[in-house]
Structure 1
């Protein structure tokens, strides 16, 4: 029996690890663009799922942002049709969405994938992000001043979305594709300097590797995992302190990291959710607790006003 190439074993093991707890007969979807990461993911999933008694489907999202994208999406599903059911193309419209083109495409893609998974009773949607992607995410978050939450990077699991390859290098993914004879497509957006992530990938990370050694990528990804664990613990502490109205005396004795999370969670509970809720809003609410000098109400996204009244923080104007 021929020995399985190490990179192929690596990607299969990564997929098996995240799927092993699912009930037999469950449907797992692979989000596949045709690039090396998602093609390796699809091939590994096609190998692993029957051995775990699972069903595999594949979805490719056409953002309609590049010439030939529709034909490429059809080619991916045609390749997948023998091993995946369903094998479907989802066409999305990214126009008019907030944020830059990367954020708009990502939000549209995740919405479409989640809706498709719900419609087909899928228990997971697998995404092909790698350890290198995680390192890039940490650097981008650091550049934005995103703090520990942003620097914790992409989670392995969030809802139905699962990322098996966050501990797998992009180099090993490429080697697995070559060993399996997979025909992959390289997205020109990945090397387009108009995108911040492309600049980090092409310019910033190579400089860091040259200066600090190749372990810098592993260390950045490891930092993200450590921060994610810390954030989860702090979020649990904060969640226990969130009530409909917040008592200033109770808030004032909380550690800063917990108190600001309480305020963030409370604002989201009031309806000020999404990316519009920023550090600036949380800092203004925190000043009602820690730097009180009779200031007026804080305006949150969604037309929500929060004020300090009789030693409490409460929503006003209802």
Structure 2
């Protein structure tokens, strides 16, 4: 029995195509024989037509039977739910006697579905564990730094170090929040609500001002318009926060303006003209380019178009357009 197994595998390899070829050859032979019989008046025309119709019907039935495993697999994949993969259905199809090519396809789909299921499980574990394990030490650092700030005998050097710790903690909080959002395969779990973008932006601007303490940089929020969105305020805050931080990394001195226009938000920072300033700017891009990369991924993910403009000797503008703004009264 074991010695005949490899021969069976070789015999079944490409058997679907071989069986279809046999059906085609037999039908061709029947057609030729029937045509010769009709030409030599061996059989009446009606009998010849009946033979041809019967051969065609039998060929259709044979081909349809060979196609049943493929059709069944197609129906299974059409109703496939990535969130709840029907692995038992694939196992049932793989256990049936089918063409070797179809069996290979089922095994490949089974392996792919298993990998996708494992990826989804790792994603859920990561977002659940990282959300707790990363935020807990950040909370401890923030509370400890606030307690140190209340110490009256803290030296100037210690106070400056404390401020750097607080700024770095704030930056790390924003990065953790962005990574947790992007690590999700979909936006499920992110609560959507109606919120006013101006309110969220004021909070993000206040957070960003902590990062420029002691630097000759001014951050201004210009609000000639106001509008609301029905979306996740967390995602909106992280996206705008990344754009603001990117502008802070590109600016050594000057004024950064965050502007709210109808249906869009823009961040404008001055360009640096001096060669040495330009080299510092490019160094900042190399070190902190992930801020803009995260903003791009968030804009693509939630379909909020991000546009970047940079004019020689002028300002650098990053603007996000929101396709479905709502009036504040809504």
TM-score grouping bracket, smaller chain normalisation: under 0.3
Pick the structure with greater CA Rg: 2
* TM-score, length of structure 1 as denominator length: 0.23
More helix per residue:
2
* TM-score, length of structure 2 as denominator length: 0.22
